[in-house]
Structure 1
């Protein structure tokens, strides 16, 4: 889909290591109206003053998942090493930490970098809150009420923080969130003990698990609930349609949820995250990129978009006839 570059954003391994990563990636298995990209929106105001714990958190393994392989070639060892090297170069080129997990649903190929590392979610947690709201309603034998649907739309399409406060309480606050994410199969996602939903910590691996629940159907949600959630993700406000959409071309279906905020607990540096789905005639991706430590909003967006584009372009090349595939997106910003 056509994209406009961000404007006026001043608003403010060794062979052994590669083998180990390949084993982990094998355990990871990481496919809605099209969102047109536009300018970037202002930061989530309710999250600006969020304080997060900076303590070290343990890593956790991926739960075994499998993905549908429908033909085509996956990343070979040399291509995987090259892409891993590019991710390490990006670490040196950008001041922020980041993690990425991607699955090509056409081939079953996966790629990740730092997928077990925990990052603050900012508004990306709203997608999990929506899934838990839908799950709770199903457990109660009902659909969402008209009020819940209105609030869910505001939360996902417009990233409204006030309505998210109410829906977070509706799912049972931190206790409900904790039990809910375990039911979804998450292994590295935890709420902030003070009840600040934007201070939830998560991993790229868990975010791809959530995308698989919504787009592949692996998990406890009904087809109706999954379709409802996808519809909201695929109709986010145009000014918020950045991030994952950097891996799209005109005519693609894109569903996403982004999160962005400066954090006082990290010297005012920015958390910028993007998770979602991109699908076209010859490609279909689940993508999660989490980042923390960018100097400003624009820098954070540029980083996550470059990571998205770099990984999916490499996967497109791997699916080809062995030669490089010219990127329809042009150079990454």
Structure 2
């Protein structure tokens, strides 16, 4: 996978961005805690986050209520077959992983390990942006030009330095917890020491967040959703892996990925991808989270194999099992 910043995507000068971050730090008293790594091979000091290891209680993963609009849904047998294949892929990898997918055309869902807790790494930046937008709306305003610039760096380029300031801007841990409750996230918890990259969440909760960004069910306005989705759809090419494995050439993909080695896990990698695919033949919300990967590349390969396997089965169930009722 390419790992260097794309020359085709201009970004604000480093000096200007640093001044903006410094201003937020002075105003909001940012905690000096370390954040998760933004790119493979970065300074190990950036990834020394103490991650919560305890399991979270199960949370029901309810099917969507969207009307059937195309494509078959899975029978019980097809669902079980897919679950077995997914379990095999994860088992062969030697990592731990969970996936949650909702097909908005049919209302079908598939999940495996979707209520298990995983460290977010930079996936938490999508939640931080969502809460930043909501907070501005509560104050009766849009994001300022400075906030928009910082948000762009956080989502498009996964800038950790910027994220430190924006995490403080949303109210640090108390603001994060309040926002999670507001969005209906029941298995997402901030790190006790305020390390945003060590937030623990579940694939099911990440799909709930995506529904707030993609549908009219949540507290965001249409303009707020458009702002967040516009940034998700403009992620730098070298960071656009994962959910995009389910996309065709005419599809629109919006995503945020996260990846970091973890000292508490012997240097093994947490690799995650959260987002949506929207096109003529598919409309998915997808969250895949994993930890215990031997490396960055193997983690990306695992995430993409899981996404591709589930999407392919939802679109073309195995022969011999006619499409039937909503998957369970």
Matched-pair contact (CA < 8 Å) for 2:63–2:102: no
The answer for the alignment partner of 1:37 in structure 2 is none
How many angstroms does 1:47 deviate by?
A: 4.2
Q: Could you tell me how far apart the structure 1 residues matched to 2:118 and 2:41 are?
A: 18
How many angstroms does 1:262 deviate by?
A: 0.3
Aligned: 1:59 with 2:64 = no
The aligned runs of 1:1-333 (5 Å cut-off) are 6=1, 42=40, 47-62=46-61, 66-318=65-317
Give CA deviations for 1:232-274 in whole Å, capped at 9, x if unaligned: 0000001101001111121211110000000111111100000
Q: Could you tell me how far apart the structure 1 residues matched to 2:319 and 2:278 are?
A: 17
How many angstroms does 1:57 deviate by?
A: 3.2
Corresponding residue SS for 1:84? helix
Summarize the Cα distance change of 1:64–1:299 in structure 2 as closer, same or farther, 3 Å threshold: closer
How many angstroms does 1:164 deviate by?
A: 0.4
Summarize the Cα distance change of 1:72–1:264 in structure 2 as closer, same or farther, 3 Å threshold: same
RMSD: 2.3
Give CA deviations for 1:271-321 in whole Å, capped at 9, x if unaligned: 000001112211111110000000100000000000000000000013999
Summarize the Cα distance change of 1:78–1:44 in structure 2 as closer, same or farther, 3 Å threshold: farther
Could you tell me which runs of 5 or more consecutive residues in structure 2 were left unpaired when the two chains were aligned. 5-37, 324-328
Corresponding residue SS for 1:186? coil
Summarize the Cα distance change of 1:168–1:93 in structure 2 as closer, same or farther, 3 Å threshold: same
Q: Could you tell me how far apart the structure 2 residues matched to 1:56 and 1:214 are?
A: 27
Matched-pair contact (CA < 8 Å) for 1:62–1:187: no
Could you tell me which runs of 5 or more consecutive residues in structure 1 were left unpaired when the two chains were aligned. 1-5, 10-39, 325-333
How many angstroms does 1:215 deviate by?
A: 1.1
Matched-pair contact (CA < 8 Å) for 2:156–2:236: yes
Matched-pair contact (CA < 8 Å) for 2:63–2:107: no
Summarize the Cα distance change of 1:44–1:114 in structure 2 as closer, same or farther, 3 Å threshold: farther
With structure 2 as the length reference, what TM-score do the two structures score?
Answer: 0.83
Counting matched residue pairs gives: 289
